[in-house]
Amino acid sequence: MNISDIPFSVIAWSTVAPTEHPGETGVAYWRTQNFGDIRVRMVEYTPGYLADHWCSKGHILLCLEGELHIELETDRRFTLAAGMSYHVADNTAAHRSHTEVGAKLFIVD
């Protein structure tokens, strides 16, 4: 990743309007800021959320609250608790997320 042409700035995430993204079950609320090719998001999954698709996009993801289960298309599974993160490159491991209790995430992609 080459981070360039982004001036220093501060984001008060509570002031960024959320967009709603329904899953197969539950809802994801994204608060998004775009900086050229870099997207930065604060994402909240409601309890019972299950993604409605397999994602091949690369991410750097930090779990801030709750618990997140990640399933890879290869049947590998991982669980993140608050303070844990994962990273994956574009087109290397299709994945989807779900949570029983809800989760709050910080994601750069």
In a domain, 81, yes or no: yes
The CATH number for 55's domain is 2.60.120.10
- Residue 57 belongs to domain spanning: 19-108
Residue 2 identity (one-letter amino acid): N
Q: What is the pLDDT of residues 80-102, one digit of tens each?
A: 999 999 999 999 999 999 999 99
Handedness of CA 40, 16, 99, 22 (dihedral sign): negative
Q: Percentage helix, strand, coil, to 5, in the chain?
A: 5, 50, 45
In a domain, 14, yes or no: no
In a domain, 9, yes or no: no
Q: What is the pLDDT of residues 3-12, one digit of tens each?
A: 888 889 999 9
In the chain, the number of structural domains is: 1
- pTM of the complete model beyond 0.85: yes
